[in-house]
Amino acid sequence: MADDTEYEIGSSLAGMVTLKSLGIKAPQCDYIPFSMSVDLGDGNVQGLGSPRTQWHWGFLSAAQRTALKTYCTGSSAAIWIRSRADDNAFYEYTAILVWPPNEERVGGRVLDFTLEFRLMTVIP
């Protein structure tokens, strides 16, 4: 079982594993509370859509990348994650994982690697 500060990923809620157990350090996490913002006529801005987040690493080894790729065999996949939100707490979500279209590989590593999670829904 993960502690309160661990990121997790899985193809089901019961099948989630920690990134640590996959040999992957915690990512830089950028949580965005809504998918898009719309300028309103009165000058305010309204957020629309579901939350999304990005997990970013400066680099991953080939083995770490392969471990993550098992959860997204195509360009995207429906998955479950445990990730940090804007209140700095961790929550479980269903989400669509979008695999980066261009990966820069150098010397057995993937550089500047970012996974995007869209259509996030908190699991109560």
* pLDDT tens-digit series, residues 4-16: 679 999 999 999 9
- pLDDT tens for 33-87 read 998 899 999 999 999 999 999 999 999 999 999 999 999 999 999 999 999 999 9
Query: For residues 83 and 29, is the Cβ–Cβ distance under 8 A?
Result: yes
CA-to-CA dists, residue 76 to 25, 33, 52, 101, angstroms: 22, 21, 14, 10
Query: For residues 27 and 18, is the Cβ–Cβ distance under 8 A?
Result: no
Query: For residues 30 and 53, is the Cβ–Cβ distance under 8 A?
Result: yes
Residue 1 confidence (pLDDT) above 50? no
At 76 the pLDDT is 97
In terms of pTM, does the model score above 0.85? yes
Sign for the pseudo-dihedral over CA of 72, 96, 79, 114: positive
Give me 91's structure tokens. Answer: 């929550």
Q: How far apart are CA 35 and CA 40, in angstroms?
A: 16
Residue 21 confidence (pLDDT) above 60? yes
Query: For residues 52 and 85, is the Cβ–Cβ distance under 8 A?
Result: no
